[in-house]
Chains A and B, each alone.
Chain A
């Protein structure tokens, strides 16, 4: 049985590892931590409190907190979709933390909920809300020039989780491959 304190400690530890802060408003933060706790209780894993989980682990994997969309959202907006993880400058300058568009590709949601495919191919209108193009974003290998830590993801981390080097110290590893024929 998980406790709110455990959920809080995990979020704090994770924020520290990646150089983020937790939401500065204690009440808002508490609501999110309660949400994570509830999800852990009902699904067995702490899926994102602001998204509807399918309850099937393999389909919810990308929205288990910290979700796959956290880092690109923090990089672009300064905080994650729920507002749980916040960038240092946003906290320090007390910049507003608001709702941001859902980055999780519609295809992923569709797979999780087994929606009819024709609904997915033709969204009613090109809404700003859902970033369709992110589905095509390619993952790359990145290494930390300071300590050698290597990750496979879209963008380099905000800070190196091992040696805390800034993201500018990450470089892409390009692997040359020849395909004949």
Chain B
């Protein structure tokens, strides 16, 4: 599974994003985090092997999320579906 780490000044929270490489909403979300200097990691699900995709789907569903991307997991707890700057801001306290 290719996890890409994007460095940023704000390292207060652990931010993981499941994304799709071709998805415009995912791109917008990535940009939002970069603009806000948030350090985060992402995985482009469409570029993963089927085995890894299965693990990702299981992970999202186990956390009560829906199979929709981007899905952001903050501090292993909070799950945010879709491009949602307000929810991200709230979760990250920015």
Chain A residues within CB distance 8 Å of chain B = 28, 31-32, 34-36, 38-39, 49-53, 82-83, 98-102, 106, 109, 113, 115, 119, 123-125, 127, 129-130
Q: List 8 A-B contacts (CB under 8 A).
A: A28-B24, A50-B20, A52-B45, A83-B25, A102-B67, A119-B58, A124-B64, A130-B68
Please classify the interface of chain A as helix (H, G, I), strand (E, B), loop, or mixed, using the class held by over half of its residues: loop
Partner of B23, one of A35, A100, A109: A35
Centre residue among B53, B68, B82 by max chain A CB count within 10 A? B68
| Nearest CB of B to A54, in Å | 9
Chain B residues within CB distance 8 Å of chain A = 20-28, 45-46, 50, 53-54, 57-58, 61-69, 81-84
Beta-carbon contact of B53 and A113 below 8 Å: yes
The 9 closest A-B pairs by CB, nearest first: A129-B66, A99-B82, A35-B22, A102-B68, A49-B22, A130-B66, A31-B24, A125-B64, A50-B23
Beta-carbon contact of A28 and B81 below 8 Å: no
Q: How far apart are the CA atoms of A153 and B34 in the complex, in Å?
A: 42
Q: How far apart are the CA atoms of A32 and B65 in the complex, in Å?
A: 24
Q: How far apart are the CA atoms of A123 and B61 in the complex, in Å?
A: 7
Beta-carbon contact of B28 and A130 below 8 Å: no
| Nearest CB of B to A36, in Å | 8
With both beta carbons as reference points, the residue of chain B lying nearest to A132 in the complex is identified as B66
Inter-chain contacts of B46 with A (CB < 8 A): 52-53
Beta-carbon contact of B67 and A109 below 8 Å: yes
Inter-chain contacts of A83 with B (CB < 8 A): 24-25
Q: How far apart are the CA atoms of A3 and B50 in the complex, in Å?
A: 28
Inter-chain contacts of A52 with B (CB < 8 A): 20, 45-46, 53, 69
Q: How far apart are the CA atoms of A38 and B20 in the complex, in Å?
A: 12
With both beta carbons as reference points, the residue of chain B lying nearest to A32 in the complex is identified as B24
Beta-carbon contact of A35 and B24 below 8 Å: yes
Partner of B67, one of A34, A82, A106: A106
Inter-chain contacts of B25 with A (CB < 8 A): 50, 82-83, 99
Centre residue among A35, A38, A39, A123 by max chain B CB count within 10 A? A35
| Nearest CB of B to A30, in Å | 9
Beta-carbon contact of A31 and B27 below 8 Å: yes
Known: A129-B65, A129-B68. A115 touches B20 (CB 8 A): no
Known: A49-B23, A113-B53. A101 touches B66 (CB 8 A): yes
Q: How far apart are the CA atoms of A102 and B63 in the complex, in Å?
A: 17
| Nearest CB of A to B11, in Å | 26
Q: How far apart are the CA atoms of A80 and B20 in the complex, in Å?
A: 17
Inter-chain contacts of B67 with A (CB < 8 A): 102, 106, 109, 130
